[in-house]
Structure formats: structure tokens, C-alpha cells
Chains A and B, each alone.
Chain A
Amino acid sequence: MTDQISLGMPQLPAPEYPADVRARLEEDARAIIDRYPGSRSALLPMLHLVQSEEGHVTRTGMQFCADMLGLTTAEVTAVATFYTMYRRKPSGDYQVGVCTNTLCAVMGGDAIFEELKQHLGVGNDETTADGKITLEHIECNAACDFAPVVMVNWEFFDNQTPESAKKMVDDLRAGRTVEPTRGAPLCTFKETARILAGFPDERPGAVEATGGAGPASLVGLRLAKGEKPHHRIVHPRGETSGQEGEE
């Protein structure tokens, strides 16, 4: 749960970013700071920004945030360690998060997580040797009507099964393009972190990818319009996908 406690010598100051990287990040940081009446509000987006540079929040990144905002590194560290989306060690290009909060867990999230651990040979918050995938279990991601849900780099993979999840991670490791159920074709974790820092995704088609509301979001609307309810459940949802609410 916690990192091993080390009682060694205090660490030396974090190394600086190379000058060109720092210049580029400073420009981005100033754009973030400009969004807010108080500069400290920029800290969370800036931690996403430094994560987009190195894939996790390093001491260099935290020092950079502290310098830009006039904070101490202790203040920045306190914030960076509070929020679960900031990674504190080198991790994979694709963060695969299996929802194991109660509803998804019961609906199959626990089974998916167990199978992925076996399949990838890693435990929770561990990365495959090829550096592609970091597996973790996540909390409720506000898609319970699409349970069980898996998030990859925070894009939605709805109505998953152990088989669909295993195929998805195999495709990611093989370098094939993987598209979520709702969201844009996957980019790397670093690229995702940049969007989270508040810089819009410039890829053509990214905003409109996968269209409007997902099938479950439309169930009530379709009933209200007089379409017949489904008196039988369509199994497996997601596998032969699309039937639900689509006729």
C-alpha cells in the first residue's frame, strides 16, 4: 500500500529539465496560470502537464511546479500525493483500469481484473515488462449502466467481459489501433495527460469519435418515444454489441 520507508540521507535537489524542455513547459504553464484568478489554481493542471512530459510526476516536475507558482516543494508534494491520477513511478503507455467498485465488481469486474492479472502476469499498479500496460483497479467511473467497465487512459470500454478485456490488452501490446466504446482512438498516457492539463485534443475526428450517447444512455428516451422495451436481456452485452436498444 505504501512505498517502503527509507531512512537514508536526504535526497539531492531534483535535476532540472533540459533548457529546451523547460522553455516549452514554461510556455504551457503560463497558459494554464492565465486561466485562473489565483495562480495556485493552476497546480492540478500543471501536475497533469508535467505528467504529460515524463509519464509520471517526478521530483523534477514537482520542482518545476513549485518554481512556477512560488510554492515550496513540500506544498506541491502534498498535493501530488493526494490525488490518485498522478503516478509516482514510471508506468506504461496504457493505463488499464478495471472498475472494482461494488456494482461493476459484482457484474464481473472482479473476474475481469483477476483474469487480466493472470493474463498479463502483473499485479495491481504494476507494469508489463514491455512497458506497454499498467494494470490497476479503479473506483466508480460514472458508467454503471454500462457495467462492467474498463477504462484505458480514461476512455470508456463499456460492457466488458474477461475475453474482450484480454483481447483489448493483446491488441494494445501488439501496437494495433484500439478504439473505446465511448471516446477517441487511444493515444498514449502522456498525450492523455496533456488533454487533462486543459489543452484540447487536436487530432481530427477526436471530438466526434464514437458518436453521441451510448446505447444505455438512450434506453429511456427510446421508451418514451414508444419503442418497445426489451423483455429479454441481450447477452453478452458488448460482445455481439449493439443489439441493446438499437433496433
Chain B
Amino acid sequence: MTLAAEINNSSPEKLLAPVLSAFWDQPDSWTLETYERHEGYRGLRKALAMSPDDLIAYVKESGLRGRGGAGFPTGMKWQFIPQGDGKPHYLVVNADESEPGTCKDIPLLFANPHSLIEGIVIACYAIRSNHAFIYLRGEVVPVLRRLHEAVREAYAAGYLGTNVLGSGLDLELTVHAGAGAYICGEETALLDSLEGRRGQPRLRPPFPAVAGLYACPTVVNNVESIASVPAILNRGKDWFTSMGTEKSPGFTLYSLSGHVASPGQYEAPLGITLRQLLDMSGGMRPGHRLKFWTPGGSSTPMFTDEHLDVPLDYEGVGAAGSMLGTKALQCFDETTCVVRAVTRWTEFYAHESCGKCTPCREGTYWLVQLLRDIEAGKGAMSDLDKLNDIADNINGKSFCALGDGAASPIFSSLKYFREEYEQHITGRGCPFDPAKSTAWADNHKEVTA
């Protein structure tokens, strides 16, 4: 077991490590003034004192891995940018947070947008970029407002614009609001969208590091990845690697949601377990028990109560048969129908499939037809194998990861809850009462666990 599991101490002071969220409770936390009062833009000054190549090496040595789902080392992404090629380089921040269950970047940007802007300036200095973009999903106007304001403040303070802090770096930062398309969270679809096209994934290679935005070398990083960089510079890579595990160092935001007593954001070293998070936060809602959960959004295969002690780091979750993803811990209790949950997620994937490739476009459509029938009690036993078969024809055979994500809930729910599917078929209907799983279900009655 990992160190985190050995400690088995439910003291939140020891188990949690607020860094990005450390001053979210302070008045006007989103302003430059508050950010600077909490050591803001100090990491940038340290970064500008280094050479860009040394800076890339430093971030690489910190072991920071992408927080958008895939876990690719951030410093390595920066290193892939060819230097001295005479082309403009771009940094594009993926703030298109849309993976079902994922809700970390939006609160981060709402409460602390300057951590992202500082990270952007550092990253652009490293990769020699003079123009960065924040691609924010459009459906979050309160966050857009704060980003507009934070960018304005940063220009006024000389953190953006010409000759940033006298370093010689000229940097423009453009906030770009999307228009409602989950697929644009996929980095090459995001780039097409940012170029004013339908958001459809590109064939790779070439990778964005070689031919990204406007066919120029481009780094695409998640919000939380970039926002984590200033603290690494300010407090040092040794501080960063003192947290988490060897292969998954550092801190991260875990988002607890669903039928838990205290849903919310929990910033902790990588490798904490769901059991530890639930123990410290009051557990599931009173009188109920955990049935299934996702470690990192709906695209990551679901877990059950057997997996409460899986270390929530890239390796730990991978070894248990899922993916860390976005650390979106959606917890459902025993009142929840797994067929209903999976049907709804599948409807989402069918709606959001961009239509570019056949396995995903057609496969998600047929999955929805089968699942709706099963949920309504009109399914046949042979449909279960058909579900598996269609999911298998999408998984790994699609243009991008949306297809793989669509297959995940199917495979994993059939693995752990096949009996529940069968119940829907033999019983000719859903055995669950949806009223019992609502947030207000237990309002007017005594809970007698």
C-alpha cells in the first residue's frame, strides 16, 4: 500500500493541503490585491530570473502532470515545442470544463483567477510565446466576468502586455468564450473551435506541439495544471514533490459530489483515498451507503464500495481498472438506479458526439436506443451482450477519447451491476423510485438507518 493508505488518519489538517484554494475564504479573493497579499506573482519573478530552458527543466523535474484527465507531464509538453523555428508559439489554456461530474476549474477561476494568469505568463516565458488564449466554456458567465476583470488588472499591473516586469517578454492574453460543445475539451477540437470552425478532433500526428493553433507550435494545458505552476516556482520543486507519490507528486483538487454529507472541493496531496475524504467530511448522507462512484468523471470506469481504499493518484486508479481523470468523485448511494445513471450519461455522449467518425456517431446512438428500452423494461437479455459489443466497437476505434469515454460506463456498469440490468429485463421495469435519490428525499422523515 502507499504511504497515504498506511497513515490511515482521518485528521483533515494532516490529509488536506490547500494551495490553490488556500485563500478562497478571504474577502475579494478574486482580486489582484488579495492574490498579491498571498504571495501572488512571486513565482513569476523567480521564473523570469531563470532561462526559459532551465524553467522548462525545472517544471519537468517537479513531476507536475496534467490535471485535465490524461496526466501527461506538463514540463514535457513544454519541451516538445521546437525552438528557433521562426514561427509564433501559442499557449492555449483548456478551460472548457464539461466532463460530467467535473467541477474544479470553474470554482478555481471564480475564486482565484490570477493563479491561472500567473501560470500563463510563466508558461509563455518558458515556451517563448507572445500570445496566449484562455478557451473558457461559454456557459459560465460569472467566471467569464472575473477573467475579464483579472486580465484587465494584470495588464494594468504590468504582468501582461509589453516587456512584462522588465523581462523583455511581450505577452497578449485573450479570453475566448466557447459556445457549448463538450467535444471542445478535446485539445485538437478545441484548436479547431478557436480557429472559428466546428469543434472536431484532428488526426494526429502532427501533434499540437508541432502544428497546433494556426498550424504553429502550441501547448494546450488544463487550467489546474497551469495554475499549479506558480506555487511550484515560489515554494520550490522539493516542496511540491514532498507531497503525493513518486510518480504522482504534488497536490490537486478533488471534487466530491452526489449523495455525500459534504459535497465540495477538497485540495489534497495525490494518493488520498475516497474513504479518507468521506471519513473527514461526514461520509455519505445519513442512513445511506455508497453504491457506485466515478474517480474522475463519467468517462472513467465506475467504482463500487470495494474501491474505497484505492489511492487516488494516476497509478493507483489505473491499477484498479479506471483512470484518475479529473478527480471528479461523483458518489451515488443505494437509492440510485445504475441503469438510469448510465443511460443518462450515454445520452450525453450521443448528444455531444461531433459526428466526425462512424463508431462514435453511430455507436452512441444505438447504445441510447438499447439502454432506453432496458430502462423502460422493454429490453431482452441478448441486449446486454449487444451493449458490450457496441461499446467494444467504439472503444479504441474512435477518432478521439470521447468514444472511449462513452464505452467506460457501459463496460464498468455491466461488470459490477449486471444483475441490476437483468432485473430491469426480467421485472419489465425499473425497480427504483427516483424520488428517493433526490437531495430533498429525506427531508420530512426520521432516518432510521
Contacts and interface: CB of A to CB of B under 8 A. Distances in A.
A25 interface: no
B207 interface: no
Given A44-B196, A147-B263, A224 B13 contact: yes
Contact of A219 (B101, B177, B198, B264): B264
B199 A82 contact: yes
A206 B24 contact: no
Contacts of A90: none
Contacts of A43: 196-197
Nearest to B175: A198
A35 B25 CA distance: 34
Nearest to A224: B16
Interface in A134-158: 138-148, 151, 153-156
Given A218-B25, A219-B263, A221-B18, A107 B180 contact: no
B214 A139 contact: no
Contacts of B341: 102, 106
Interface stretch (A120-128, A168-176, A178-186): A178-186
Contact of A230 (B88, B256, B262, B330): B262
B45 to A, nearest CB: 26
Interface string B264-289: 11111000000000001111011000
B181 interface: yes
Range of interface residues on B (Cβ < 8 Å): 35 or more
Given A79-B198, A140-B99, A218 B264 contact: yes
B12 interface: yes
Size band of the interface chain A makes with B: 35 or more
A139 B440 contact: no
Given A106-B336, A154-B138, A154-B139, A230 B261 contact: yes
B439 A236 contact: yes
Contacts of B110: 182, 212-214, 217
B259 to A, nearest CB: 8
B98 interface: yes
A223 B281 contact: yes
30 contacts: A44-B179, A45-B176, A79-B197, A83-B180, A86-B179, A102-B345, A106-B340, A106-B437, A107-B439, A141-B139, A145-B264, A151-B139, A154-B138, A154-B140, A161-B439, A184-B145, A192-B141, A195-B144, A195-B145, A207-B146, A207-B149, A212-B24, A217-B110, A220-B12, A220-B21, A220-B265, A222-B25, A223-B16, A224-B16, A244-B262
Interface of A: 35-38, 40-45, 47-48, 69, 78-79, 82-86, 97, 100-103, 105-108, 110-111, 138-148, 151, 153-156, 159, 161, 180, 182-184, 192, 195-198, 200-201, 206-210, 212-226, 229-233, 235-237, 244-245
